Amino acid sequence: MKYLLAIYLLFTVSHNVAADTAIKLFHADHFQQILAQYSKQAFVLVLWSLDCPPCYKELALLGRERKQHSYNLVLISTDGAESIDEVAAVLKNNGLQGADNWLFSELGSAPLRYQIDPLWYGELPRSYLYTSDHQRTAISGVLTSTQLSSYK
């Protein structure tokens, strides 16, 4: 009975975490939707994964930076829809539940990566600093505070 109660509580807590964090599923046409949403606005787009240790360092930095500076942040997890509860928990732990959060509809989908950047081969973390006229700078590896502050 205690075992069943523990499983129930774990499910309830993880379900509540996902419910507290709005995460949209990312399909092929959504990249254009993101660009349109931030038309004439600067934004930072970050691709990350649960299986990427450096991504956790970057998410922690983004969480700290968002508390100090306001900027448009789009986070896309490449983990696939089945990982939504884990992704939500990581975002919440880093104070990023208020960002524009997305999750690949399929795990590691090459066509979805191609929609974002045909020259991106899937290395993570991968970030793009977009200016208000949508000129972008691609960065492979963990963002730094200096890169973020020079962008703002």
CATH of the domain at 99: 3.40.30.10
Residue 124 to residue 47: CA distance in whole angstroms? 7
Q: CB-side exposure of 60: number of CA atoms within 13 Å?
A: 5
The predicted structure's pLDDT at residue 22: 95
* Domain, as residue range, for 42: 2-151
Residue 83 to residue 88: CA distance in whole angstroms? 9
Number of domains in the chain: 1
What confidence tier does 102 reach under pLDDT thresholds 50, 70, 90? very high
pLDDT in tens, 19-54: 578 999 999 899 999 999 999 999 999 999 999 999
